[in-house]
C-alpha cells in the first residue's frame, strides 16, 4: 500500500493495484493419473496375483540384517541411480510418503540420488516434522530435495488423538515399491518389530502414485474394486468404490474380513480402540462375536500402550504391570478373547514394547497389513492397508506371530 492508503479513513475499503512488482514465479505443479489405467491395473491384479511379486518384510529389531526393509530401500535407491546412469534422458524418481524421516543413512542416500539426477520427492506429516526438529529434514531441504509437510486437522467427536499424515510407502521409479507399518526412523527405533510388503509391479506403483499425487494436491482418481478379490489396496481418502457405487475403505475391510472369519484370527497391533464401521458397528464387538461363534481369536498388543495412564515415563516393571488395561482391551479379555501384552526381554527405566506392527491373519489365508492403527483416528488420517488373500503370503506372518511369543515377555 502507498502512504495515502495507510493513512486514509479506516472505515473505507482500501485498494492496491496488482502488478508484477516483487512477484516470484510459482513452479509448483500437481499431477493426476489416468483413472482408466488404474482400473485396468486393478482388473489385471484381480486375475493375476502372482504379477504383484509380493514379498513380506519384517524388521525383527535388526536394522542391519540383510532382509531388513532398510537394506531393500537402499538397494532400490541404488537401482534407480543406476537406471539414471544407463538412461540419462529418462525421468527417474524416488517418491517417499511417510509419517516421519529420522534416519541419517536414508537422508544422505536420497541427497546423493538427487545429485545424480534422480527426482526425489518426500511427503511427511507437518506436525511430526516440526516436533522432531531433526537435522535430517534440514539436510534434505538444504540439498534442494522436495520436502512437503502435510497438515491434517479434521474435527470429529470420534477422533481420539491428533490425526496425521500416516501413510508409509516409497515408490522407486515405476516398478518397485514398499509399504508397511514402519517410518524411516531406524536410527531411533531400530529395535521395533514392524511388518510390511515389497512389490515389483507397475500396477501397484501406479495405485500408490495415485495416493502420492493426491497428497501433493492433485485429484485422486476413482476406480472400482471387488471386496472379495484376492488383493485390495485401500486408502482412507481413496475413491475406490464397489459395484453399488459406495466407497470401500480400510475400516470397512477390517470389519468385513473379521465378520467373514471362519476358523482363526491372529492380530499383532500397536494400538486398538473402538473402531467403528459404516453402521457404527465396533471392531471390538466384531472380535468378540467372532470368538463367540467359534473362531479362535488371539491378539498381541504393545503392552506399554495397552494400559491406562501416562506413557513414556519411568516406572518399575511391577508398577507397569499394575496399571489397569484400556477399557476396550479389558472388554476383550473379559469376553474370553486371548490377548497377550508384549514387552521386551530387558527392563528399561521406561518400560518398552517392541510391537509397532498392525497386521492380521484370518483363517491362515488372508493378510491385512499397512499403516492403519485400529482406532477411529486412523479413519481421519492418511493411512492405507493391503488385503491379500494368499496362503503363501500368510505363512511368514504366521511364523512372525509365533516368534514374537517365543522371543519376548508376554503377559
pLDDT digits 0-9 by tens, 34-87: 999 999 999 999 999 999 999 999 999 888 888 899 999 999 999 999 999 999
| Range of the structural domain that residue 275 is part of | 35-410
Mean pLDDT of 151-174: 94
pLDDT at 17 over 80: no
What is the mean pLDDT of the segment spanning 130-159?
Answer: 92
pLDDT value at position 1? Answer: 44
**Residue 123 · residue 165 · CB < 8 Å:** yes
Q: What is the pLDDT of residue 27?
A: 85
Alpha-carbon distance of 86 to 104, in angstroms, equals: 27
**For residue 5, is it within any domain?**
no
So what's the pLDDT on residue 272?
96
Which of the four pLDDT bands, split at 50, 70 and 90, describes residue 186? confident
- Percentage of the chain beyond pLDDT 70 is 96
Distance, in Å, from the CA atom of 404 to the CA atom of 80, rounded to the nearest integer, reads 35
Mean pLDDT of 96-103: 95
The pTM of the full predicted model, rounded to 2 decimals, is: 0.93
pLDDT confidence of residue 210:
98
Strand order from edge to edge, sheet including 366-370: 231-235, 384-389, 366-370, 358-362, 264-269, 296-302, 338-343, 409-410
% of the chain exceeding 90 in pLDDT = 86
> Which among 252, 180, 206, 176 has a CA at the least distance from the CA of 42?
206
User: How far from 128 is each of 73, 123, 151, 152, 295, CA to CA, in Å?
Assistant: 22, 12, 10, 11, 39
Q: Which 3 state secondary structure label does DSSP give 153?
A: coil
Backbone angles phi, psi at 139, to 5 degrees: -65, -35
* pLDDT score of 7 more than 60: no
pLDDT at position 26, please?
82
Q: What is the pLDDT of residue 9?
A: 61
CATH number at residue 137: 3.30.870.10
Gap between the Cα atoms of 205 and 332, Å rounded: 38
The answer as to whether 8 is a domain residue is no
Q: What angle do CA 180, 373, 395 make, to 5 degrees?
A: 50
Q: How many domains does the chain have?
A: 1
Taking residues 261-284, report their average pLDDT.
Answer: 96
Backbone angles phi, psi at 89, to 5 degrees: -90, -5
Mean of pLDDT values over 7-32:
73
The answer on pLDDT for 3 being more than 60 is no
What integer pLDDT is reported at residue 16 of this predicted model?
63
Residue 65 resides in a domain: yes
> What is the C-alpha to C-alpha distance for residues 384 and 214, in angstroms, rounded to an integer?
14
Give 122's strand partners: 96, 147
Is the Cβ–Cβ distance between 235 and 384 less than 8 Å?
A: yes
- What is the rounded CA–CA span in Å between residue 323 and residue 312? 13
CA-based nearest residue to 358, from 191, 101, 182: 182
Amino acid at each position: 500500500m502507498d502512504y495515502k492508503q495507510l493513512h486514509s479513513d479506516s472505515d473505507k475499503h482500501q485498494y492496491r493495484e496488482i502488478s508484477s512488482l516483487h512477484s516470484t514465479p510459482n513452479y509448483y505443479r500437481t499431477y493426476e493419473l489416468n483413472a482408466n489405467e488404474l482400473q485396468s491395473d486393478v482388473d489385471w491384479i484381480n486375475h493375476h496375483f502372482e504379477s504383484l511379486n509380493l514379498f513380506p518384510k519384517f524388521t525383527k529389531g535388526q536394522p542391519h540384517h540383510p532382509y531388513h526393509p532398510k537394506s531393500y530401500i537402499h538397494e532400490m535407491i541404488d537401482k534407480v541411480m543406476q537406471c539414471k546412469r544407463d538412461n540419462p534422458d529418462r525421468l527417474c524418481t524416488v517418491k517417499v510418503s511417510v509419517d516421519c524421516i529420522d534416519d541419517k543413512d536414508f537422508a544422505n542416500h536420497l541427497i546423493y540420488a538427487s545429485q545424480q539426477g534422480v527426482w526425489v520427492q518426500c511427503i511427511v506429516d507437518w506436525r511430526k516434522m516440526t516436533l522432531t526438529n531433526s537435522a535430517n529434514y534440514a539436510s534434505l531441504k538444504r540439498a534442494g530435495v522436495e520436502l512437503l509437510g502435510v497438515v491434517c486437522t479434521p474435527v470429529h467427536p470420534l477422533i481420539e488423538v491428533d490425526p496425521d499424515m500416516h501413510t508409509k510407502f516409497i515408490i522407486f521409479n515405476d516398478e518397485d515399491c514398499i509399504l508397511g507399518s514402519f517410518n524411516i526412523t531406524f536410527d531411533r527405533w531400530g529395535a521395533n518389530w514392524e511388518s510390511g510388503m515389497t512389490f515389483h509391479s507397475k500396477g501397484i506403483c501406479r495405485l500408490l502414485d495415485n495416493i502420492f499425487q493426491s497428497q501433493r494436491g492433485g485429484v485422486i482418481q476413482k476406480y472400482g474394486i471387488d471386496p472379495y478379490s484376492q488383493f485390495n489396496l485401500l486408502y482412507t481418502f481413496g475413491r475406490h468404490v464397489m459395484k453399488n457405487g459406495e466407497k470401500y475403505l480400510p475400516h470397512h475391510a477390517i470389519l468385513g474380513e473379521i465378520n467373514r472369519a471362519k476358523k482363526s484370527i491372529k492380530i499383532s497391533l500397536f494400538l486398538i480402540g473402538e473402531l467403528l464401521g459404516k453402521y457404527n458397528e465396533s471392531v471390538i464387538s466384531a472380535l468378540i462375536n467372532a470368538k463367540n461363534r467359534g473362531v479362535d481369536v488371539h491378539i498381541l498388543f504393545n503392552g506399554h500402550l495397552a494400559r491406562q495412564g501416562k506413557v513414556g515415563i519411568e516406572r518399575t516393571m511391577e508398577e507397569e504391570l499394575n496399571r489397569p488395561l484400556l477399557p476396550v482391551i479389558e472388554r476383550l479379555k473379559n469376553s474370553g478373547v486371548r490377548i497377550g501384552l508384549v514387552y521386551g526381554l530387558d527392563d528399561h527405566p521406561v518400560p518398552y514394547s517392541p510391537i509397532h506392527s498392525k497386521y492380521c491373519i484370518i483363517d491362515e489365508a488372508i493378510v491385512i497389513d499397512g499403516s492403519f492403527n485400529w482406532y477411529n483416528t486412523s479413519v481421519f488420517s492418511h493411512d492405507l492397508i493391503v488385503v491379500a488373500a494368499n496362503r503363501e503370503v500368510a505363512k511368514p506372518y504366521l511364523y512372525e506371530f509365533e516368534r514374537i511369543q517365543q522371543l519376548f515377555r508376554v503377559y
